[in-house]
Amino acid sequence: MDSVAQLTPETQQRVQELRRLLQQASYDYYVLDAPTIEDSVYDQLYRELQTIEANYPELITPDSPTQRVGERPASHFTSVKHNIPLYSLENAFGNADLATWEQRWRKVAPDVTEFEYVCELKIDGNALALTYENGVLVRGATRGDGTTGEEITQNVRAIRSVPLRLNLDNPPPVVEVRGEAFLSLDSFEQINRDREKAGESLFANPRNAAAGTLRQLDAKIVAQRRLDFFAYTLHVPGELESQWQALELLREMGFRVNPEREKCADLQAVQDYCDRWSVDRTQLRYMTDGVVIKLNSFALQTRLGFTQKFPRWAIALKYPAEEAPTILENISVNVGRTGAITPVAELKPVQLAGTTVSRATLHNRDRIAELDCRIGDTVIVRKAGEIIPEVVRVLTELRPENARLFEMPTHCPECHEPVVKPENEAVTRCINASCPAILRGALTHWASRDALDINGVGEKLVAQLVDQNLVNSVAGLYDLTIENLLTLERMGKKSAEKIVKAIQDSKSQPWSRVLYGLGIRHVGSVNAQTLTQAFPSVEELAAATPEQISAVPGFGSEIAQSVSQWFQNHGNQELIDRLRQAEIQLKGEVVPVAQVETAISGKTFVITGTLPTLKRDEAQALIQKAGGKVTDSVSKKTDYLVAGEKAGSKLEKAQTLGVSILSEADLVQLIQG
């Protein structure tokens, strides 16, 4: 067919009309939730457009409704630098924090007497940055670390509430839009139903499901999962004067803007809004975990500027972790790698913060007594740090007559040896070094990413190695042969060869990782690196007195005693000898410290979460080379917290103490000056 010869002005006009009708219909349906045409009519118009574009490919444009989902899956995602950084917000946890925040910004602008706030619900999803050129979507990217994200344009195009073309007659050359991609609760539940039928693992919560969806290489899967999008930030040349104006313009451009936004004349109105939505948010069809409060005036925002990490003109009020009542059906115990025996509540499954919870920690015997907790009780469960479920109180008024007291076991449920409870500790422990549970934990920890990083040696393999008595200590891993591994279930020769090679390759891991892998109490990966700087060989550390260890910056007497006692133990001395025979690295080099004064000389850092490109030990080495110090815990003496993805309680504590928060990019910039 000679499509060029047959193309007529009438056909071109019809294409434009079809696109206009379909774009308006999508806007009405996905943004306004007010459908204006029947699905059958939409399908008929869509098929007509598809047919014309098939006959005249030269008419296809990126903003055509037929081009939302690409035909070919992406092969990978690439990193992109944001044109404008996506800043984090300072967190508030109550009205007192909001009042303190207002006092702080008013000190910067004491002459300001007239102002107003804009309150928007904080959507529990994934931040996106969208770029439009001449009104057409050209790039969609994840937040990443705020400076660099992943380019996922193909997947963003599959989100129906993201316009492919802005609804503007004369769009600016470049428009930057920020917002939150999320899954409605209905969509989330449907996805998990489908995955359950297919025998696939379920998503933990809507936010995780949305994140996993955005990283799909096939945009068709993204389209099937029905992601949604709320826009909340607009960067556009022009005369915009306020956040409220920006939200209204976003809506006119064709974006969904959260309808529950509100202008507030003063802080009392803000607090009333936050208090109201702390209750009403349970009726929403999507997850929200707080409220974002911004000063409305852009001129005032510009005047206030930023701290090293946060804008001074905005803050996020975080709601307390969600709580829910359920029945305590039983109490079991778990034996950890240190021998700690932890009671675990077995619960009647309950929905909590977007996940189904059936188990929760009870911490220790003293905590059970404090709660007056009995099997059969109705209990209140909360997610500590929105991650770990825990029982926080018991509704004793609902206690049934047959409720049973729980008693901690006198013998370890794994090895059946007697357990002990040291006088100065709340934890009951198994002290049998040969306990299978302790050995499994020690082996799994030794092979973990931050320790020896042995690919293929995970919990399932470790369980088989222990059950078949193939390994009796971490040193025993280095005696394993391919023939040993072939005796295990579902183990092929190629897999066995890879595992043996990974174990042997781990011999080159540095002394700091080895020390962390030993699993000494209170010695995390950061403390291990600090200790190996102070004691560059295992012989020097083993000979150190508690006083010498506690003299290391960031170390107290408790850690010092723990390290010293570990090396005095005869069994541990034998383990070190076996590791030495296996040629494990038990000696390292001192990281040279900057000889000249730098921006971070003498400053104390804590690192938390997963950084975008640097491993934690690499970040620590950078800090130490520049003259800084790294410790494991946040305190008033901490100067900076370097926070990556999934930063938890350390981030919250740092924000409470007013510690400066850095991203990886901030850290590198600070070091480089």
Domain assignment of residue 599, yes or no: no
Residues near 44 by Cβ (< 8 Å), separated by ≥ 6? none
Is residue 590 scored above 70 in pLDDT?
no
196 plus 337 within the same structural domain: no
C-beta of residue 358 within 8 angstroms of C-beta of residue 347: yes
Pick the residue with more confidence: 555 or 273? Answer: 273
Beta bridge partners of 287: none
Domain assignment of residue 234, yes or no: yes
164 plus 196 within the same structural domain: yes
C-beta of residue 514 within 8 angstroms of C-beta of residue 585: yes
Q: Tell me which range, 80-84, 220-224, 573-577, is most confidently predicted by mean pLDDT.
A: 573-577
Pick the residue with more confidence: 365 or 478? Answer: 478
Q: Enter the tokens of residue 502.
A: 């990974």
558 plus 515 within the same structural domain: yes
C-beta neighbour count of 350 within 10 angstroms: 17
Pick the residue with more confidence: 264 or 595? Answer: 264
Helix (H) or strand (E) holding 174: strand 174-182
* Residue 135, helix vs strand vs coil: coil
Report the CATH number at residue 21: 1.10.287.610
120 plus 158 within the same structural domain: yes
- Taking each helix axis from N to C terminus, what angle separates 616-625 and 525-534, rounded to the nearest 10 degrees? 40
Cα dist from 100 to 90, 94, 104, 401, whole Å: 12, 10, 6, 49
Is residue 134 scored above 70 in pLDDT?
yes
Torsion sign over Cα 660, 315, 288, 148: negative
Is residue 424 scored above 80 in pLDDT?
no
Is residue 399 scored above 70 in pLDDT?
yes
204 plus 302 within the same structural domain: yes
Average pLDDT of the segment spanning 312-325? 85
Is residue 470 scored above 90 in pLDDT?
yes
Is residue 41 scored above 80 in pLDDT?
no
Q: What is the pLDDT of residue 3?
A: 44
Domain assignment of residue 656, yes or no: yes
Report the CATH number at residue 532: 1.10.150.20
Residue type, 482: I
Q: Annotated binding residues for NAD(+), as ranges? A: 39-43, 88-89, 120, 143, 180, 294, 318
381 plus 452 within the same structural domain: no
Pick the residue with more confidence: 166 or 195? Answer: 166
Q: N- to C-terminal Cα distance for the chain?
A: 64
Domain assignment of residue 385, yes or no: yes
Catalytic-labelled residue, pool 122, 309, 603, 629 = 122
284 φ, ψ (degrees, to nearest 5): -75, 160
C-beta of residue 661 within 8 angstroms of C-beta of residue 89: no
Q: Annotated binding residues for Zn(2+), as ranges? A: 412, 415, 430, 435
Tell me which of 303, 318, 333 is where a domain ends.
Answer: 318
Average pLDDT of the segment spanning 58-82? 67
- Say which residue the tokens 């391919």 belong to: 482
498 plus 516 within the same structural domain: no
Q: What is the pLDDT of residue 302?
A: 92
Instruction: Concatenate the DSSP letters of all residues of 31-52 into one string.
Output: ISS---S-HHHHHHHHHHHHHH
pLDDT category, 1, cuts 50, 70, 90? very low
How many residues appear in the chain?
673
Q: What is the pLDDT of residue 28?
A: 67
pLDDT category, 214, cuts 50, 70, 90? confident
C-beta neighbour count of 536 within 10 angstroms: 15
* Residue 668, helix vs strand vs coil: helix
- d(C-alpha 456, C-alpha 440), whole Å: 15
Report the CATH number at residue 664: 3.40.50.10190
User: How high does pLDDT run on average in the chain?
Assistant: 85
Domain assignment of residue 71, yes or no: no
116 plus 209 within the same structural domain: yes
Give the pairing type, strands 340-352 and 355-361: antiparallel
C-beta of residue 569 within 8 angstroms of C-beta of residue 577: no
**Structural Rg of the chain based on CA atoms:** 29
Residues near 548 by Cβ (< 8 Å), separated by ≥ 6? none
Q: What is the pLDDT of residue 200?
A: 67
Share of the chain above pLDDT 70, in %: 91
Average pLDDT of the segment spanning 494-504? 94
Report the CATH number at residue 368: 2.40.50.140
Helix (H) or strand (E) holding 96: helix 95-108
pLDDT category, 420, cuts 50, 70, 90? confident
Domain assignment of residue 450, yes or no: yes
Domain assignment of residue 408, yes or no: yes
Is residue 545 scored above 50 in pLDDT?
yes
Domain limits for position 457: 436-508
Q: Tell me which range, 95-109, 198-212, 521-535, 657-671, is most confidently predicted by mean pLDDT.
A: 95-109
Beta bridge partners of 608: 643
Tell me which of 490, 508, 526 is where a domain ends.
Answer: 508
Tell me which of 396, 420, 444 is where a domain ends.
Answer: 420
Share of the chain above pLDDT 90, in %: 41
Which tens digit of pLDDT belongs to each residue from 261-288? 999 999 999 999 999 998 888 788 898 8
Instruction: Give catalytic status of residue 122 as yes or no.
Output: yes
245 plus 157 within the same structural domain: yes
194 plus 244 within the same structural domain: yes
Q: What is the pLDDT of residue 177?
A: 96
Average pLDDT of the segment spanning 81-108? 88
For residue 167, give the nearest of 229, 101, 256, 89 by alpha carbon: 256
Q: How much helix, strand and coil, in percent to the nearest 5, is found in the chain?
A: 40, 20, 40
Is residue 623 scored above 60 in pLDDT?
yes
Q: What is the pLDDT of residue 2?
A: 46
Q: What is the pLDDT of residue 510?
A: 93
Is residue 190 scored above 60 in pLDDT?
yes
Number of domains in the chain: 6
128 plus 219 within the same structural domain: yes
479 φ, ψ (degrees, to nearest 5): -100, -5
Q: What is the pLDDT of residue 468?
A: 92
Q: What is the pLDDT of residue 49?
A: 79
Pick the residue with more confidence: 66 or 668? Answer: 668
The rounded Cα 492 to chain-centroid distance in angstroms is 35
* Residue 414, helix vs strand vs coil: coil
- d(C-alpha 457, C-alpha 451), whole Å: 12
* Residue 173, helix vs strand vs coil: coil
312 plus 458 within the same structural domain: no
Average pLDDT of the segment spanning 475-491? 93
Average pLDDT of the segment spanning 585-595? 66
pTM of the model: 0.49
Pick the residue with more confidence: 589 or 410? Answer: 410
Domain assignment of residue 592, yes or no: no
